[in-house]
């Protein structure tokens, strides 16, 4: 298990629109562990597609709560 396993939870999806959904479980910025997160996703054979990120604890329940990252 990775060192940052308590920073996020990944849900792998079987849709074309979005390959995975990531819930940030920490107040830390997503950019602190983005490279590791992308590595974990790539290790599950997801090399392209969209990743939807819920960063409620970082940004609050605001318009910028969700973000989409293209892999």
Listed in sequence order, the residues at least 6 apart from 57 whose beta carbon sits closer than 8 Å to its beta carbon are 24, 25, 26, 27
Helix, strand, coil percentages, rounded to 5, for the chain: 25, 30, 50
In which residue are the tokens 């990743």 written?
A: 51
Read off the pLDDT of residues 34-61 as tens digits, 9 standing for 90 and up: 899 889 998 998 888 889 999 999 889 9
pLDDT band with cut points at 50, 70 and 90 for residue 1: very low
pLDDT at 17 over 60: yes
Which is it for strands 20-24 and 50-54: parallel, antiparallel or unpaired?
parallel
């Amino acid at each position: 298990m990775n060192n940052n396993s308590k920073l996020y939870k990944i849900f792998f999806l079987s849709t074309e629109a979005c390959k995975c959904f990531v819930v940030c479980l920490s107040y830390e910025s997503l950019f602190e562990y983005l490279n590791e997160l992308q590595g974990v996703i790539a290790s599950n054979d997801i090399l392209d597609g969209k990743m939807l990120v819920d960063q409620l604890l970082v940004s609050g329940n605001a318009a910028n709560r969700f973000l989409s990252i293209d892999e």
